[in-house]
Amino acid sequence: MKPKFFLLVFIGLVAIFALALAIPARAFDGRGGDTVTIPAGEVIEDDLYVGAGTFTLDGVVKGDLIVAGSTITINGTVEGDLLAAGQSVVVNGRVMDDIRMAGAALVLGESAQIADDVVAAGYSLETKDGSSVGGDALFAGYQALLAGDTARDTKITVNRLELSGSVGGNLNVEVGSSEETPMVSPFTFMPNMPAVPSVAGGLTIKPGASIGGDLTYTAIPESMIPAGTVSGDVLHEIPAVVTGKEETVAAKTSSWFFANLRNLVTLLIVGLLMVWLVPKLVQNGANAVNAKPLPSFGWGIVTIFGFFFALLALTTLVVIVAIFLGIVTLGDLLGTVIWAGIIAAAALIFAFSVSVGYISKIIVSYLGGRLILTRLKPEWAEKPYWPVALGVLIFAILVAIPLLGGFLNLIVVILGLGALWVLGWELIRSRSTGVKAPAESTD
């Protein structure tokens, strides 16, 4: 299921992005800010473009509505298309054409009426009882709970799906195993998130649901279909399984040994190169962790969330700028903006990956090796190569231990990222105030 799932998610997001860029230049209204509300009684005569933290539509938009934000709520009427991307998108009103939306939590409320198609990608999609979709529905994500009505065909690719509403045409579903342990939602603690429903694994069709055409579903195992639910044919397909010979204990042991040996050699080479080329980065990072371990751990967690926020903000900015350039007919700059955004995103991902995979581990390993040598062989601790070699060796051995190794690796990465955050912040402060950054401390 996974390759098709990720392909559909990618296609869905690309389709949304492409639609934004394809909007022709014409009359429009633009709004922006932390909170944007179109009150009941207000009528927007043209297309509306919005970039906001929280957006609520209680009025009417005569044209298309294109909105990017954190929390998006549509209670009023959109007479054209709705294009929405955010943390949560909740539609309680009327959309008189298509919906294209992406987000963590996507909801069609009890009074939602969509005249044509719904194309969506995200973590969770819920269509509540009373909602209606006049065209086709396409969703790719982790889970879906469909209690509303869809007039035509529906195609869903998820890990888990529950159907209690109606599908007027064919239903094509690809789901995960009903025995698979549910994933803890990564969005549970995000502010202003709507309640995300709990859905059982695999395909669940409730009594009272109806499918006007054929049901084609790919799942393990076969699902129980209530009698009279499907008007057409029911086709159950088994997911393609890649089979292979089971590894022997000796083969597994050999694979484990060489994987950890590669990890040791790679970290050792990178570590030695770092203390040769950027010794101050390693030493000052180790000093930061040694002096402030708890703040470093906290800033490490902030760094992880900050990376994903920065990536989302960069993507949103590129989309908004591209839409604006398309509106003002500066099409020649579109390619430059898009390529600049792609390069910036690639650089951000590369920097974060290198920091997580190598730099953070080298900093903490160097600190561990230095602390040990300071007590056992003080003269060796003064030379950076011995501490990093000893620290990397001990780290590689510890992370090779099942269960414990994964936990230790996570702690080390968070501490190392926190050290980089602290160093970066001190560098920014020293440059802004003209004061030299603090000199490295000694153990």
202: phi then psi, degrees, rounded to nearest 5: 80, -155
User: What is the percent of the chain with per-residue pLDDT over 70, rounded to a whole number?
Assistant: 81
pLDDT, the chain, mean: 82
Report the candidate in 190, 399, 412 with the shortest Cα–Cα distance to residue 297: 412
Q: Where are the domains of the chain?
A: 2-237, 250-433
Q: How far apart, in Å, are the Cα atoms of 80 and each of 96, 99, 107, 116, 319? A: 6, 9, 19, 10, 20
The C-alpha angle 307, 180, 165, rounded to 5 degrees, equals 90
Residues 6 or more apart whose CB falls under 8 angstroms from that of 308 comprise: none
Per-residue pLDDT reduced to its tens digit, 310-368: 888 888 887 787 777 666 656 567 667 778 888 888 888 998 999 998 999 999 999 98
Query: In the predicted model, is pLDDT for residue 377 greater than 60?
Result: yes
Query: In the predicted model, is pLDDT for residue 2 greater than 50?
Result: no
Q: Check residue 145 and give its pLDDT.
A: 96
Report the candidate in 216, 203, 195, 89 with the shortest Cα–Cα distance to residue 144: 203
The C-alpha angle 142, 148, 153, rounded to 5 degrees, equals 75
Per-residue pLDDT reduced to its tens digit, 191-217: 667 778 888 888 999 999 999 999 999
Per-residue pLDDT reduced to its tens digit, 226-270: 999 999 999 998 876 655 556 666 667 777 778 878 888 888 998
Overall average pLDDT of the 280-294 stretch: 89
Residues 6 or more apart whose CB falls under 8 angstroms from that of 106 comprise: 88, 89, 120, 122, 124, 125, 126, 139, 141
Q: How far apart, in Å, are the Cα atoms of 384 and each of 277, 367, 374, 398, 412? A: 11, 10, 12, 21, 19
Structure tokens at 170: 């064919």
The C-alpha angle 346, 412, 431, rounded to 5 degrees, equals 60
Q: How far apart, in Å, are the Cα atoms of 213 and each of 131, 144, 246? A: 20, 20, 42
Overall average pLDDT of the 35-58 stretch: 90
